[in-house]
Structure 1
Amino acid sequence: MLAPTPASPETVGMSKAALDRIDAHLKQRYVEAGRFPGTQLLIYRRGKIVHASSQGYADVERKVPVADDTIYRIYSMTKPLTSVAFMMLVEEGKIALDEPVAKYIPEWKNLGVFVAGTAPAFMTRPPARPMLIVDLLRHTSGLTYGFQQRSNVDAAYRDAKIGAVEKAGTLQSMIDDLARIPLEFSPGEAWNYSVSTDVIGYLVGKIADMPFEQFLKERILDPLGMTDTGFHVPAAKAHRLAACYSADPGGALSFHAADRKGGLTLQDDPATSSFLSPPAFVSGGGGLCATTADYLTFCRALLNGGELGGVRLLGPKTLKLMTSNHLPGGVDLPTLSRSMFAEAAYNGIGFGLGFSVTMDPAKTLIAGSAGEYAWGGAASTAFWIDPAEDLITIFMTQVLPSSAYPIRRELRTMVYAAITESNV
């Protein structure tokens, strides 16, 4: 796929001085302060790359600098790709959003809703209605993540090692285990961040009659030329995999020990990472690694109405459907959420089919546009696409958890401040 050409910010209605200010902010507040090992920021507007910067280290211990081809664990930024893959099958008439999930996963036909108890002696009640396919895509299914640490159902997920975090079992074993654990709530009653997108990946494989990872490669990654994106990093590219860290105020890896404001602890060494070999559990919710350039290619296809360079993933009407708010009652995430964690938690933000969706920028208290869609990953990576402003922003680093610092809010504020010619 032909890479976009760079252009000066002023030619696309942005300020170079304001964009340079973002780099200074990242350097001083995050990299030099020891909060992030390194950062990579890419801003694309009106068909051009107007800002691309890298600083700090991809691997602090080995003093490997962040490079254009650094490979990152994108964790939940996998979810949009999985959702697009699924909607490709919807477009082909092979499955519909309003069908019951149990039609395709009969093991779940008798799933109940949690009332009381602990595994395996749960008390349950029947759900008010069946779980629908759309519930999986918008996280209103009643499923959860074990790391939520909120309920006895979460605890049962941890005990069974269900989900992308533990990388245990296979997609089929996840489906089998979930058949024995009740739902957190009746489908459609609440929003809860969950393994729902892993289930979507399972369904892609089942409906397409091929392994999910093969479908993603043959239908999205290869056609778009996303050659550095996959569920593991092959040996020939292992030297490009960044180290992953956890935020730790007392961490030994601060850059300035005499003036420690941040701190990092190595969480996943790229020399021994599990991402160096194909996983048994292929996580559509959080399993991919990718470069910034590859993720830009995917985002460009979305911004362009589902097509790029003659490769069409989806029709523009399908993409419009995906980037509309699908939360019941038309409410925003905070109104419906029971989740202890999400990659977006602002007022005025709804959820579509694989993305958060900005409904009302004023309620977010952050500059932006109605119709902007986005998500992020557990290691503090983030992206957003703003069709109104013809804008894509991608940010990469490798620090868990993504809630450690308000970097996403800061980036949105500063990127929108750099726009000197608004399209709306």
Structure 2
Amino acid sequence: MTDLTLDEFKAEATAFLDANASPKPEATAFEWGQGSDDVALFEEITPEEEARQLAAAKAWLGTKATADLHWIAGPTELGGRGLPRAYDQAYRSLETRYDVPAQGFFGIGFGMVAPTMLEHGQPEVHAYLPRMYRGELVGCQLFSEPAAGSDLAGLTTKAERDGDEWVISGQKVWTSGAHYSDIGEIICRTDPDLPKHQGLTGFVVDMHAPGVEVRPLRQMTGGSAFNEVFFDEVRVPDTHRLGDVNKGWTVALTTLMNERASIGGGGGGGGLGLASATRLIQMMRHFDVADDPVLRDELARLYTGFQVAKYTNQRAAEKLKATGVPGPELSLGKLMLTDNLTATAEFVARVLGPRLLADSGEWGTYAWSTFVCGTPGMRIAGGSDETLRNIIGERVLGLPKEPGIDSKSPFKDIFKG
């Protein structure tokens, strides 16, 4: 228990923010044709601008660290504040009112990798955590492979033991932020004689180590927010192992549950965000389709879908607050997010028609193409829709497992490809 009340903490946090950041100007009502019409799901910026933003984000985390506001719910023995999660949530809410550097660079590290390192890491791994939360290190997640995306247990990147080290070789794909990350959480095959969900082990790997090669992947939107990463006999000390040898599936589940909590429970999961109801209504009025009964009904369904997602996520957040452990029901939040984004893309395409396909320079038209092209990626990121439906069916609704999954034969004997 803490002697610091939540109100006292909020006063402390507000004083810090007042001293180190400027309050955001009061939001003005949205007007069609005013300001930027950028609605891209995946930000696409130049390498130079990305480097500038990353440096600013690191500096801001360093500033928060001087006031002990960088790892509010973290354990005190590792440099955290040791306060309840409610205090961390309160600070985040306060910070949204101020103009501070964007911290999306740390989203995967803080939301997925760091919690796994804390739960399953050895002292040498725990030593990374204070540096991560001070903004000195960026973390990434190295799970998916070309032949093992949704079927994560089918991965083939191998780690072979060599004394007190492991030698890693293989390929990972769709790794967000790998090109600016310092460490990565990786799951490898360590015993092919065991069934596919066994024989896996997790590690923390130095992304700057010899043998690590990061290559950007070009998206159909034109950007490259994701990467493929190659490992050529990369050496990792056993002290950087996560959990027990051949128990990496448990480690992976910890990360995946936190990932779905982070993606599905965020602002995108419950609110319309860039695709606000106001923006869509004004779009319909601008193009003189506001009285179209089919489009009006579709917009109402779209708005309802986002509201249902918001309230469902709130219920899941209350459970998470009580247990501190993300559960399988959070897969529902991520699934609703992709359903709602897909419905938004379809609605916008129907309203804009050919204006979506050609860059005529007209405000609020072709800009939506980046949103529409980015939506399919969200159906894969953080677990494909099909995988999430299986999780909800099996672990939430108690339905029988998907037939045809071989969880008993040695992995080396299972057909691949």
TM-score by length of 2: 0.26
Radius of gyration: which is bigger?
A: 2
Higher helix share: 2
Higher relative contact order (CA 8 A, sep 6+): 1
